Amino acid sequence: MKKTGLIFDMDGVILDSEIQYFKVHQQMFRTLAIPLDRVQYATFMGKTGDEMWQELITQHDLPHSTESLLALEHELFQQHAKPEECGLKDGVHELMALARTEGYKVAIASSSSLEKIKRVITHYGLTVDAYTSGFEVPRSKPDPAIFRLAAQRIDQAPEACIVIEDAANGMIGAKEAGMEVIALLDERMPTQILHHADHVVSSHAAIGEILRNR
C-alpha cells in the first residue's frame, strides 16, 4: 500500500528534549538514592511520567507519592527543559516540508499533554495536519491507541502510515497499530530495543531519503 501519512513522535524526534529530561531524571535519581539502570530507563522512554514513578516507588520502596515526584519533576523541567529552550532536532522543518511535497499528511502522536504539544507547534511554527496526546486515550504508548487516533485525525488508514519514533515503547505501539516504523537514534541516550523498527536512522536527512526513494 502507498504510504500517505507521516506520524512524528514529539520528544526526541521533533523537540530535542529527551536529553534534558534524562539529565533531570539523573539528578532526581541521585537525590532519591536510586541507581540509574540505563536499560531500565530506556523502557520508560515514551511512557507518561506517572507510569515511571509508580514503578520506581514500588521497586525501591520510596517514601514518596507519585504526585509529589511528578510535581518535583515538573518543577525541574520548567527550570531545565522548557520546550521553548530545548530547540528542534536538526532537519525537522525540512523533513516536514519534504513530506508535504511527497504527498503525506503529517501528524504528531506524543505522550505529552495537549498543552505542551500546542506550545511546541506554536513556538516553532510547525505545520501539521493533526496531533494526539497520550492523555486522550485510555493507555499511552506502548498501547497502539494513540497512533490509531492520529491516523484517524489525518484521515489515513493505519497501514498507510509511517511513524518516526526514538523510543521502543512508541515503536511497539506503532507496529501493533499496523504501521511502518522508522527508529531515530540519539547516541546521547540509553540504547533502545530496535527489533520493532523497519528502518533505523540517525538523522532527519536519512528519513528524507527513505521518503524520496519510495
Which residue type sits at 17? S
3-state secondary structure of 183: strand
Residues 6+ apart with CB under 8 A from 150: 7, 107, 108, 109, 130, 131, 132, 161
Would you tell me how many other CB atoms lie within 10 Å of the CB of residue 38? 10
pLDDT (average), residues 154-173: 97
pLDDT (average), residues 36-53: 89
Count of residues making up the chain: 214
Residues 104-160: tens digit of each pLDDT = 999 999 999 999 999 999 999 999 999 999 999 999 899 999 999 999 999 999 999
pLDDT (average), residues 178-202: 93
Residues 6+ apart with CB under 8 A from 52: 44
Strand pairing report for 161-165 and 199-201 = unpaired
Cα radius of gyration (the chain): 17
